[in-house]
Amino acid sequence: MRGFFMLIDSHCHIDFDELAPLGPLLDACRQAGVEALVVPGVSLAYLERPWQLSRQYPMLWPAAGFHPWYLPEQQGAFGVLDDFARRHSGDLVAIGEAGLDKFKGPDAATQEWWLARQLELAQALDKPIILHSVGTHARLTAILKQYPGVRGVIHAFSGSSEQAREFVKLGFYLGVGGVVTRASANKTRDALRTVPHKWLLLETDAPSMLPEGLAGTHNSPVNLPFIHKALSETLQADPNALALTLSANARRLFQGR
């Protein structure tokens, strides 16, 4: 499945216990053609784990943030994230995973408060932000318009062509994961075809979002070439050329080069 290219997983929770032990897994990633993995933060308890692991494994690119499912009960906990992100700004490639979820997590007002704080932090540190959006694309678009200049990625994008174009217009990349492999995801595949390739990123969201057609109890970053193949077929693009573009996109967003 691997071609003459290397891929970057723009969203992988490799710090979750389901993916341990990391050494053999990262060896398998390299053999599969995965050269780097962006590891978002999700909670107060896991805040430092992506950064700590990146000290041991340089192919991991750490982020820091609070996922809408795992928001701290006390707003004062934002100070912990703020302090950590500022102290390690030189190492972190992004703020997040932040965002909104219509179906899971605390009430909308609480989610929006935490999203606003993390957008402000990304703005202050001049970092991209990794955004989760489930059933909330319209509301998220309206909020992002209040933060001109903030850039980032809509992780695991699943939406319409119009929604895709709105996010791109605001300077946000679209993360392409296991959804593109699903037989039922025609709307999302159609949307991806309307977006210039320079606005797309590959991701697995491992251990979640196991691609359709693969066996297993959880997803793995080793499956990234499978997703790349599905996206290449969706876009009718040369796999090698597309891989070069997607990896360049990830470096441009997360490393500024």
**Tokens encoding 40:** 């978002």
pLDDT given at position 19? 95
Bridge partners for 202 per DSSP: 176
**Does residue 3 surpass a pLDDT of 70?**
no
Percentage of the residues of the chain whose pLDDT score is greater than 90: 97
To the question of whether residue 13 is assigned a binding role by annotation, the answer is: yes
In a domain? residue 1: no
pLDDT given at position 5? 76
To the question of whether residue 205 is assigned a binding role by annotation, the answer is: yes
Q: How far apart are CA 103 and CA 135, in angstroms?
A: 8
In a domain? residue 2: no
In a domain? residue 44: yes
Give Rg (Cα) of the chain.
17
Which domain range does residue 33 map to? Answer: 7-255
**Does residue 76 surpass a pLDDT of 60?**
yes
Q: What is the CATH number of the domain that holds 95?
A: 3.20.20.140
To the question of whether residue 88 is assigned a binding role by annotation, the answer is: no
**Does residue 251 surpass a pLDDT of 90?**
yes
pLDDT given at position 2? 45
How many domains does the structure of the chain reveal?
A: 1
Buried b (16+ CB within 10 A) or exposed e, 27-64: eebeebbbebbbbbbbbbebbbbbbebbeeeeebbbbb
**Does residue 1 surpass a pLDDT of 70?**
no
In a domain? residue 148: yes
179-190 average pLDDT score: 96
Share the mean pLDDT of the chain: 96
